[in-house]
Amino acid sequence: MPELPEVETIVRDLRRLVSGATILRTAVLRPDLIAGDVHDFEERTSARTIDRIDRRAKNIVITLGDDRLIINLGMTGRVLVQAPGEPEPTHLGVRFELSDERRMLYQDVRRFGRLTLLSDTEWEARSERLGVEPLSADFTAEHLYRLTRQSRMAIKPWMMDQKRVVGVGNIYASEALFRARVSPRKAARRITRREAAAIHDAVQEVLTEAIDFRGTTLADYRDASGDPGGFSLRLAVYDREGEPCPSCGSPIRKIVQAGRSTFFCPKCQK
DNA sequence: AACGCGCCCTGTCCGC
DNA sequence: TGCGGACAGGGCGCGT
């Protein structure tokens, strides 16, 4: 479900809503959502203050003293902050009771998401294994170009591998390649310097715009208040098989790469 | 080492 | 209206 813009939107919401709040007590309702020991997770997240909230790749990182609560939303995960008295949603996975009687809830229909509690050093080690943040200064066209040299993989699935560049998933990979006018089927190592620069710019552009619109909701995504994102109508190719290309009018095509749907304009993206 | 594939799980939609 | 199959914003572990 959620790619960088959706996770970033939730992180900003949570920062506004629950920074400085205290988790009184944690209740895990679906143990398979927790990586590691469930009892330990409940204990170590109870009676803790939320010191800060950050995003790394598609993970929400909640700082509780020296510990880090890492939330990965998988496909259908949601983090919702509820006022006292609001009815709890179905498919509730974890309930964090806050000291002011609000609740921070983790809900997940498909349960592909994971909540992990790590020490700061454990988290740092894990974070180091992830790729570059696409909206950071470390992400340059040259950096992208050099990374592509190593791989025969098609550029679209290549872009979605979180070991290289993080945060780009199935929607924004298709959207960025459309904007860059590069075929999703082109092998990464055949990407030219010029194309790498176009992909770099397109990734930054589309992610930034999507954050401005509070993410893309196809079906499941919601922000921390339960509201959908506004970027869906601005998708140029994703989920638009057969519709006219916004640039040239020829029909958008859908293909499958690495088991995931790819949408592109065969005329604009050579 | 790199890469493709199957799998985790539930809900929804489409064709028959 | 019912039923089977395909598919859905992700990521991990396996085998080659």
Rounded to whole angstroms, the distance from the CA of residue A257 to the C1' of nucleotide C1 is: 36
Average pLDDT value over all residues in chain A: 96
Of all nucleotides, the one whose C1′ comes closest to residue A151's CA is B2
Q: What pLDDT is stored for residue A124 in this prediction?
A: 96
Query: What single DSSP character describes residue A19?
Result: T
A6 sits within 7 Å of strand C by its CB: yes
Bridging pattern class, strands A48-49 and A77-82:
unpaired
- The pLDDT of A120-127, averaged and rounded, is 96
- The pLDDT of A123-140, averaged and rounded, is 96
Q: Is the pLDDT of residue A206 over 90?
A: yes
pTM given for the model: 0.97
- The pLDDT of A23-51, averaged and rounded, is 97
- The pLDDT of A215-232, averaged and rounded, is 94
Q: What six digits make up the tokens of A233?
A: 């109508």
**Angle at alpha carbon of residue A213, lines to A203 and A162, rounded to 5°:** 35
Per-residue pLDDT tens digits for A158-195? 999 999 999 999 999 999 999 999 999 999 999 999 99
Q: What pLDDT is stored for residue A65 in this prediction?
A: 98
Residue A128 bears catalytic tag? no
Query: Phi and psi at residue A67, in whole multiples of 5°?
Result: -100, 160
Find the helix packing angle between A193-212 and A4-18, rounded to 10°. Answer: 40
Rounded to whole angstroms, the distance from the CA of residue A264 to the C1' of nucleotide C6 is: 21
Which residue's CA shows the smallest distance to C1' of B4? A258
Per-residue pLDDT tens digits for A239-259? 999 999 999 999 999 999 999
Percent share of chain A, pLDDT over 90: 99
Of all nucleotides, the one whose C1′ comes closest to residue A161's CA is C11
| Distance, CA of A177 to CA of A195 (rounded, Å) | 10
Per-residue pLDDT tens digits for A59-103? 999 999 999 999 999 999 999 999 999 999 999 999 999 999 999
- The pLDDT of A208-218, averaged and rounded, is 96
Q: What pLDDT is stored for residue A14 in this prediction?
A: 98
| Distance, CA of A48 to CA of A65 (rounded, Å) | 8
Residue A58 bears catalytic tag? yes
Q: What pLDDT is stored for residue A1 in this prediction?
A: 66
Q: What pLDDT is stored for residue A202 in this prediction?
A: 98
